[in-house]
Amino acid sequence: MAGTTSTWEDELRGWLTPFLDRLGHKARRRMCPLYVMGLIGPGDRKSVQPMAERLAPGDYDQLHHFVAAGVWDVAPLETELLVQADRLVGGDDAVLVIDDTAVPKKGTHSVGVAAQYASALGKTANCQTLVSLTLARGEVPVMVALRLFLPESWTSDRVRLKRAGVPAEYQTARTKPEMALAEVDRILAAGVRFGCVLADAGYGMSAPFRQALTARKLAWAVGIPRHLKVYPVDVKLIWPKARRGRPRKRSIPDVLSIAAEDMLADAKWKTVSWRNGTKGRLKARFAAVRVRTADGPPQRIWDKGQQHLPGDEAWLIGEHRASGEKKYYLANLPAGMDLRSLAATIKARWVCEQAHQQLKEELGLDHFEGRSWQGLHRHALMTMIAYAFLQHRRLTKVRREKKNQRSAAATDLARRPTRHRRSHRANAASAMSALPKVDQRRIAA
């Protein structure tokens, strides 16, 4: 590009400086920008060979070594990604979204591949599943963690694990909620700022997961199955009189727990709109009641068998969509929160789906052709770094446009007669515009 105007590649090299400082080695410091440029730049395939052919035909071996075989620790770069993500979108009004995404794969040799449910496909498929954590504020997501889930068919096969290079600390079977909590702890240790944790029912149905978030003093709002049991908020523990034998040693609730959908059957439903979409305001019917979760210790109750005792107080929220689909949620958000705020918090989770789609369609998250644990996670890390850079450019552009609008508005105000001046609040509102969907091809042009 002529003159003093820098290209996006020059801007990327400058933005990557703190990452490169953590890499140290000269060859790695040269390969990292090349790899990220290959992910952002044009080209249908974002695997090593086609990226090397486009960017550095003589450096294929070094680029492949960098991502698949080189001896270097990803932890410093992962930490720097958290620093940059917090700088971009961190804050008390940010959310941390926990989800997972499937990468369809053929064969059986790529690490973690198995027949498993892929939410993105809506069916069971041969794929890898990555647990993801996304930091987001408003409509701007930054992916901060991608960790491969290993099904039992892998964790029970030591030979297979060794062949794929799975580190010893990851060879033990872990559930997705357990993996997510480990990443939450890493994010908290790095000082990343967010106000609420969001997750779908695959995580929210786990009582230990919800309890672990509460134990960390985190606010959360999670999806749950319709049949998950809850108690009325005014449930009481009583001491039943034994009809015969020894007196009871444990108290029991004075009412039985019921399914979430039944608890909301007689609730007051209200149409709520939470934000603008591409086709106008997004809205659905919502209802919310305060309940006690049925996730305390199990206890035999009369002749009803064992039931879990009442746990903490929380919001039970129902959503009836225009399509007829019904969804249910639990949240430990403040008791005084209004219905629209509850709905808006829950629906903020949609940004992670956008991020998953863009990482795959634009940055080649699912294009890695290696089979190893190390190669897959390094490739995933590079796609997250590339995505964070594009969000940096997106936010910089929006801030510049707002500044220009404010300057123009100030000039216009100065020219107007005093009696026609608009309020500062009105001018600020007119300068605010919704962030557009990030388009990598346009930004990188």
pLDDT tens-place string over residues 102-135: 999 988 899 999 999 877 677 899 999 999 999 9
Mean of the pLDDT values across residues 222-234? 96
Sign of the alpha-carbon torsion through 389, 393, 395, 399: positive
Cβ neighbours of residue 22 closer than 8 Å, sequence gap 6 or more: 76, 77, 79, 80
Q: What is the mean pLDDT of the chain?
A: 87
* Reported confidence tier of residue 432, pLDDT bands at 50, 70, 90: very low
| pLDDT score, position 439 | 41
pLDDT tens-place string over residues 174-220: 999 999 999 999 999 999 999 999 999 999 999 999 999 999 999 99
Q: What are phi and psi of 136, to 5 degrees?
A: -145, 145
Q: Read off the pTM.
A: 0.87
Q: In terms of Cα–Cα distance, which of 397, 239, 214, 394 is closest to 312?
A: 214
| pLDDT score, position 1 | 37
Determine what percent of the chain is predicted with pLDDT higher than 90. Answer: 68
Q: In terms of Cα–Cα distance, which of 180, 173, 124, 178 is closest to 153?
A: 173
Cβ neighbours of residue 56 closer than 8 Å, sequence gap 6 or more: 34, 63
What distance, in Å, lies between the first and last C-alpha atoms of the chain?
A: 11
Cβ neighbours of residue 362 closer than 8 Å, sequence gap 6 or more: 440, 441
What span, in angstroms and rounded, lies between the C-alpha atoms of 153 and 160? 9
- DSSP characters over 43-111: -S--SHHHHHHHH-GGGHHHHHIIIII----SHHHHHHHHHHHHHHH-STT-EEEEEEEEEE--SS-ST
pLDDT tens-place string over residues 350-362: 999 999 999 999 9
For the chain, the C-alpha Rg in angstroms (whole number) is 25
Determine what percent of the chain is predicted with pLDDT higher than 70. Answer: 86
Mean of the pLDDT values across residues 242-259? 76
User: Does residue 239 surpass a pLDDT of 90?
Assistant: no
Query: Which residue has tokens 């932890």?
Result: 75
- Say if CB 202 and CB 101 are below 8 A apart: no
User: Does residue 419 surpass a pLDDT of 70?
Assistant: no
* Reported confidence tier of residue 228, pLDDT bands at 50, 70, 90: very high
Query: Which residue has tokens 């509460």?
Result: 214
| pLDDT score, position 264 | 97
Structure tokens at 147: 């960790």
| pLDDT score, position 231 | 95
| pLDDT score, position 217 | 97
The DSSP bridge partners found for residue 180 are: none
Mean of the pLDDT values across residues 400-404? 76
CA 359 to chain centroid, in Å, comes to: 13
CA 289 to chain centroid, in Å, comes to: 26
| pLDDT score, position 294 | 94
Question: Is the pLDDT higher at 410 or at 163?
Answer: 163
Give the number of C-alpha atoms closer than 13 A to the C-alpha of residue 328, restricted to the C-beta side: 18
pLDDT tens-place string over residues 160-177: 999 999 999 999 999 999
The DSSP bridge partners found for residue 199 are: 98, 222
User: Does residue 443 surpass a pLDDT of 80?
Assistant: no
